[in-house]
Every structure is written in C-alpha cells, then in structure tokens.
Chain A
Amino acid sequence: MAKVVVVTSGKGGVGKTTTTASLGAALARTGDTVAVVDFDVGLRNLDLVMGAERRVVYDFINVAQGSVKLAQAMIRDKRIDTLWLLPASQTRDKDALTETGVARVIGELREKFDWVICDSPAGIERGATLAMRHADMAVVVTNPEVSSVRDSDRMIGLLDSKTEKAENGERIDKHLLITRFDVGRATRGEMLNIDDVLEILSTPLLGIIPESEEVLRASNLGAPVTLSSPASAPARAYIDAARRLSGEFVEMTIPSDKKNLIFKLFGRRAA
C-alpha cells in the first residue's frame, strides 16, 4: 500500500515541482516504485522538469474522467524504471478535475505504487486542496523568506483541517523542507535561519536544500537534480530528505558544494 505525499507551499516559485521530481527520483533510486502526479491543471510543469514533455499523450483529467485507463496516461522515466509520471492537463478549465475523479485515481495509484507524490499548484484554490485531500504525509516547501513562511503557516492550517485524514480525526504527517537556503547569508543575519523558521512554524524538519546553481541546471536539462548530478549539494540534501521520509534516521546537515567551500575559504582569507 502506497504512501501518498503532497508537496505543497501556498506560495509559488519556492520549489514544489523541483522537490517533487527530486524526492520522487531519490525514492525511486532505492528500488521503490514511485508515481509523481502533477495537480497543476492548466500550468503543468512537472513533465518539463522531469524531461518527459514530449512524451505526454494523455493526462490526469483524461484518467479522472474515465476516458482512458491509468496505465495509458502514466509515463515511465527513461532513466529509472521504477519512476512514473502522471502529467496534468493543459486545459484552461480548472473544474475539469472532480473530487470523485481524483479520489478514484489516487485510490488506483495507491494499489500500484509504493509512493504517490502529488505536486500541488500554488495558492489555496481547488487544485491545491484536491492535491492534499487524500495525502497521508505532507512536505511543506518553504523559503527562508517572510511571504513564504506566512503562506506555509496557512497551508499547515489547511492540512490540519481540510484533508481526509484531518476530517476523520487523524493527524496528517507534516514535514518542513527548507529550500534555497544560503548558509552564509543566514550566518550574517541577512536571512532567516533554520531555527527561526522551525520555531515559527513548529513543524518537524525534513531537510535543508542549499541554494545552488545545480537546481537550475537540472531543470534546464530536464532531469531531477538527484539524477543529473547526484553528488551535488542539493541532490545530497534531497537524497537525505527522501531517506528521512522513508522513516530512516539521517543526521541533519546542510551539504555544500566543494567548489563553494574552497571559494568561501579563499574569500574569507582575502577579506
């Protein structure tokens, strides 16, 4: 039976899609079967980040409306054969995704995969609430920046009230993933540090993804960073986060790229 994970944030552009792809690939690398599901109807992008944009034939809405079978719409990753993508539709009609349709598709995915990772759209509208609806766990993606932290707080509130689990009186397992973190700026007091964010949101930490040019490089190439450069700092951080999501204990560190470290040491000496 699969674990259904929603990757959410409220605010746009904080790294939900990058996180969905990177965690999905990191989990699939271990041999688990993983389905990554794009809930951003009208603005799909997970296919692009995963490098599968030219292989999309059918989408989530086709399956939810019952016009095609799930197996016809799922796209298998070319690099890892345990990783699958269910793309969102590009239709402008956001109501095309119905509650019963989503429930049926998620139910079917649950039976076939170890992990179902739902990439939520930004905002608190229908798409976002549908993405979190059936989740067992949530990864709340937050940048160490005021508007992102505020929106994450709002999403945490919604996760505790609007999900199926919450309505049944159960607790949804919430995890905070801090992305685009810059150790240097946080140390200099120019950026909220990890403890600030954790104290404000009082949600357990899943991982800290350092700001890195590798993330943009990966999306340029159409490969999750955990596949395109698994030794890079953000990839190692995502791989650690994926292990924690599976329940493993992994010590919390902020990986850094060697090049950056040398640069920093050099910079410090020069200063």
Chain B
Amino acid sequence: MTLSRLFGRRGSAPVARERLQILLEYERGLNQSDLVATLRDEILATVSKYVTVEPDKVQVKVDRGDAVSMLEVDIEIPNPLARRQMAGSTGTATGAPKTDCGQSRAPEGSS
C-alpha cells in the first residue's frame, strides 16, 4: 500500500461508485429487455402504418455510455420496385391463405 501510495495510485472506490450510479439509475427505470421489446413493438407498429415492414427486419439496440446512451433502430424497408413486385405476386397470395385458414378453422372449432 505504502508503495502504491508513493507512486500516486488512486483508490478504485470512486470508479466503483460512479459505475454503480450509472448502472443502477438505468436498471431502476426499466428492465432493459422489457424496454427494448416495448420499443421494438411500438416502433414497428408506427412504421407499419406508412410502409410495409417485416417484423423480423426491425432491430433495436441500446448502447449505454457515460454521458449519453445510443438507441439504434435498424429497419429494413424493401425498395419500391421490389415491393411492387412483391405486392403483385405474393401480396394477394399471402392475404388469401390467411382468410382461407380462418374460414377453414372456424367450422372445425365450432363443430
């Protein structure tokens, strides 16, 4: 100890204190996984109103820094041309089986 004091090494306790303060302030607000999941769902819902987005093409990341935190939202949107092609071929196709399923399942369940 005397040696390290001679060489002017600072105690590590202030670092511990600061790290804890930053971490706990964050953790108390919201459970991190809950926050990311909620953000993901709400962003997806909002963006879907205007453009067609596939749910698994939305990525939300949180990167916590000392001074600021970075919220990174990555949404993959198909190009208009590709989308038009999709709408022409698969758009109606995906819509149709869904209703088929609904109709075919309903009587089974009720009978």
Measured CB to CB, the residues of A under 8 A from B are 145-146, 149-150, 153-154, 157, 186, 188-193, 196, 200, 271
Contacts and interface: CB of A to CB of B under 8 A. Distances in A.
What does DSSP make chain B's interface, helix, strand, loop or mixed?
helix
A200 B25 CA distance: 9
A189 B13 contact: yes
A200 B21 contact: yes
Nearest to B25: A200
B96 interface: no
A9 to B, nearest CB: 16
Contact of A192 (B1, B16, B23): B16
B105 interface: no
A188 B20 contact: no
Given A157-B28, A189-B11, A190-B13, A200 B1 contact: no
B20 to A, nearest CB: 5
A186 B14 CA distance: 10
* Residue from the set B14, B20, B24 with the largest chain A CB neighbour count within 10 Å: B20
A54 to B, nearest CB: 42
B89 interface: no
Contact of B11 (A145, A146, A153, A188): A188
Nearest to A146: B16
Interface of B: 1-2, 5, 10-14, 16-17, 19-21, 23-24, 27-28
B84 to A, nearest CB: 51
19 contacts: A145-B16, A146-B16, A146-B19, A149-B24, A150-B20, A150-B27, A153-B27, A154-B27, A188-B11, A189-B11, A189-B13, A189-B14, A190-B12, A192-B13, A192-B16, A192-B17, A192-B20, A196-B16, A200-B20
B20 A271 contact: no
A31 B17 CA distance: 41
A193 B17 CA distance: 9
A153 B13 contact: no
Contacts of A150: 20, 23-24, 27
A158 B17 CA distance: 22
Nearest to A187: B11
A193 B13 CA distance: 8
Contacts of A149: 20, 24
A188 B1 contact: yes
